[in-house]
Amino acid sequence: FPEMMDGRVKTLHPKIHGGILGRRGIDDEVMGRNEIPNIDLVVVNLYPFETTVANPDCDLPTAIENIDIGGPTMLRAAAKNHTSVGVVVDFADYAEVIAEMDANSGSLTAATRYRLAVKTFEHTARYDGAIANYLGALNATQQRQDFPNTINLQYRQVQTMRYGENPHQRAAFFVEHGIQEACVATATQVQGKELSYNNIADTDAALECVKQFDDSPACVIVKHANPCGVAVAHDIGSAYERAYSTDPESAFGGIIAFNRELDAATAKAIVDRQFVEVIIAPTVSSEAAQVLAGKKNVRVLSCGNWSGERPAGLDFKRVTGGLLVQDRDLALSNELRVVTKRAPTDQEMRDLLFTWRVAKFVKSNAIVYGRDGMTVGVGAGQMSRVNSARIAGIKAEQAGLTVPGSVMASDAFFPFRDGLDNAASAGIVAVIQPGGSMRDQEVIEAADEHGIAMVFTGMRHFRH
């Protein structure tokens, strides 16, 4: 029968699906009786549903018309009958398929047909998942909800590892389909040993932190997912020197991230000074690559440049039996508001914003001391905010750094004035925090008593 209904019905026909699904040697008689020829190869490009709905101006009728029905049906039929039928869904496979057919009298090997069938089912699963995600996020009046009824995600395995977080755990690395952001998942390994599970996790933490500093060359050193040293400077070599000086002990075996090209001088300074697991930068100069080539075990990654705007998206956290889903924490603050009698000086404000950017990436409870564009002490992951502050002070003392005259950032509000009293005793001159405590006024009064300038951001940055 002819194509009909504006093209909605054109491939759903027994002569097509019979030719695809027919079992060679079993269904020959019935196929002959009904004049159904064998179809040995199916190549389909589906309607571009994902591209269509990615357009913010896409409406529901447009989305519906870009849901392919016949295409996935033919693909699934061919993949089901892969023992006899080849199926291609990716133009990247065209050259390989053509070459193999040319070399084998028009045939594909069983191994190739199986591989293509698996790829096809993965492709149609993702396609259907995208449709379910889109429609499931619309309510009965076609208004978009914050989250769909179900979440369908597809990640592609790119690496199996010797082990996971610990040696007794198996592990692999999967990359999100379609990801284009400059990140650890899309980075190119320039040299070094294979990345481990912990390498990837820590590199992600370091890179996402250094992305906060677009205005100046910056260096972030991470150990066990926490920044142990962060600094900005007029060049990345100086930024590295300053970041390293924050906590040389913790920097040993750490991950180093830069927001500018890695140059030879900085690369030499790193390998001459410390043992490092991973170095990641937007680009790596050829001279830096030559310097690092002598250190075969150092993993060096190039992630490409990124824009100031971070792509929005969802953040996932696995719990036993479930998945916590939230927006990515991309914002920095709601509104900067000076709440004390004394306002911070221009330099203090620069340092407050610097330490606030760092605190966002420190495990809660997070306290960061900073001065002149570098961290002076980092207190991470304590159950008590006051203890995090004490640890930041201890770290500064161990590194031979001076706390008096520094500023302090806290990822969440101070529930009591003791946090400010401790800050004052350490010589802190300005504080940045979200605010929002029932005792904010008490905390503000404590700051005023000590002559400390304090800024509220109106935005908390817990990190677990």
Residues 250-264, buried b or exposed e (16+ Cβ, 10 A)?
bbeebbbbbbbbbbb
Q: Residues with catalytic annotation?
A: 80, 224
pLDDT at residue 7 is higher than 70: no
What pLDDT, in 10s, does the model give residues 347-391?
A: 999 999 999 999 999 999 999 999 999 999 999 999 999 999 999
- Assess if residue 142 is contained within a domain: no
- Per-residue confidence (pLDDT) for residue 58, from 0 to 100: 93
The answer to whether the CB of 347 falls within 8 A of the CB of 371 is no
Q: DSSP for 193-216? A: SPPPHHHHHHHHHHHHHHTT--SS
| Higher pLDDT pick, 178 / 172 | 172
- Per-residue confidence (pLDDT) for residue 9, from 0 to 100: 65
User: pLDDT category, 6, cuts 50, 70, 90?
Assistant: low
Span 44-64, average pLDDT:
95
Does residue 229 sit in the same domain as residue 285?
Answer: yes
Span 415-425, average pLDDT:
92
User: pLDDT category, 267, cuts 50, 70, 90?
Assistant: very high
143 CB-near residues (< 8 Å, 6+ apart): none
Does residue 16 sit in the same domain as residue 132?
Answer: yes
pLDDT at residue 11 is higher than 80: no
Question: What sign for the dihedral angle of Cα 187, 191, 194, 195?
Answer: negative
Does residue 342 sit in the same domain as residue 254?
Answer: no
| Higher pLDDT pick, 324 / 143 | 324
- Per-residue confidence (pLDDT) for residue 13, from 0 to 100: 85
pLDDT at residue 90 is higher than 90: yes
Span 423-443, average pLDDT:
96
What pLDDT, in 10s, does the model give residues 391-413?
A: 999 999 999 999 999 999 999 99
Whole-angstrom distance, CA of residue 455 vs CA of residue 429: 12
Residues 180-208, buried b or exposed e (16+ Cβ, 10 A)?
eebbbbebeebbbeebbbbbbbbbbbbbb
pTM here is 0.90
Span 417-438, average pLDDT:
95
Share of the chain above pLDDT 70, in %: 98
Query: φ, ψ for residue 277 (rounded to 5)?
Result: -85, -50
Does residue 285 sit in the same domain as residue 379?
Answer: no
pLDDT at residue 37 is higher than 80: yes
- Assess if residue 73 is contained within a domain: yes
Span 40-51, average pLDDT:
96
Share of the chain above pLDDT 90, in %: 90
The answer to whether the CB of 376 falls within 8 A of the CB of 369 is yes
Mean pLDDT of the chain: 95
Does residue 129 sit in the same domain as residue 203?
Answer: no
Span 165-190, average pLDDT:
96
User: Tokens standing for 326?
Assistant: 């939230």
- The type of residue at 236 is I
Total domain count for the chain? 3
Distance of CA 254 to the CA centre of its chain: 19
- Per-residue confidence (pLDDT) for residue 281, from 0 to 100: 98
- Per-residue confidence (pLDDT) for residue 10, from 0 to 100: 67
Whole-angstrom distance, CA of residue 406 vs CA of residue 190: 38
What is the CATH number for 99? 3.40.50.1380
User: Tokens standing for 444?
Assistant: 């503000």
- Assess if residue 160 is contained within a domain: no
Whole-angstrom distance, CA of residue 323 vs CA of residue 205: 21
The domain in which residue 193 lies consists of: 184-302
- Assess if residue 49 is contained within a domain: yes
- Per-residue confidence (pLDDT) for residue 326, from 0 to 100: 96
Does residue 298 sit in the same domain as residue 339?
Answer: no
Does residue 124 sit in the same domain as residue 79?
Answer: yes
Does residue 9 sit in the same domain as residue 124?
Answer: yes
- Per-residue confidence (pLDDT) for residue 62, from 0 to 100: 96
Report, in angstroms and rounded to the nearest whole number, the Rg of the chain calculated over CA atoms.
29
Does residue 293 sit in the same domain as residue 344?
Answer: no
User: Tokens standing for 256?
Assistant: 């180093």
pLDDT at residue 146 is higher than 70: yes
Does residue 343 sit in the same domain as residue 384?
Answer: yes
Task: Measure the CA angle with vertex 81, ends 19 and 15; round to 5°.
Answer: 15
Whole-angstrom distance, CA of residue 344 vs CA of residue 333: 17
Does residue 285 sit in the same domain as residue 339?
Answer: no
Does residue 451 sit in the same domain as residue 337?
Answer: yes
User: pLDDT category, 2, cuts 50, 70, 90?
Assistant: low
